[in-house]
């Protein structure tokens, strides 16, 4: 089963659920970093290029990598 990253976005007053692959998530994050004028003031961009590890991107972003010392 393929893992997805869930997010919500407000589009014209409606909340829309999105499921992104890790590649889509990285592209969107990179796009936001390169175009900060399109990111709301409350947004905060940071790079999502996690090192290649056996932990998921979300674990790495949340600081919850395993203790395998490969992360």
pLDDT for residue 67 is more than 70? no
For 8-57, write each residue's pLDDT tens digit.
888 888 899 999 998 898 888 888 888 888 877 665 555 555 555 567 76
Q: Is residue 66 part of a domain?
A: no
* Closest listed residue to residue 5, CA positions, set 54, 57, 40: 57
Q: Is residue 14 part of a domain?
A: yes
Q: Is residue 37 part of a domain?
A: yes
Domain residue limits at 43:
5-61
pLDDT of res. 29: 83
The residues facing 18 across adjacent strands are 7
Q: Is residue 56 part of a domain?
A: yes
Question: For the chain, what is the domain count?
Answer: 1
Chain Cα centroid distance, residue 11: 19
pLDDT of res. 45: 56
């Amino acid at each position: 089963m393929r893992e997805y990253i869930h997010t919500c976005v407000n589009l014209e007053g409606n909340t829309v659920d999105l499921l992104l692959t890790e590649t889509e998530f990285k592209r969107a994050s990179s796009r936001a970093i390169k175009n900060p004028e399109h990111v709301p003031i409350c947004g905060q961009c940071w790079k999502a290029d996690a090192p290649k590890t056996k932990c998921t991107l979300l674990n790495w972003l949340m600081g919850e990598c395993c203790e395998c010392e490969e992360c």
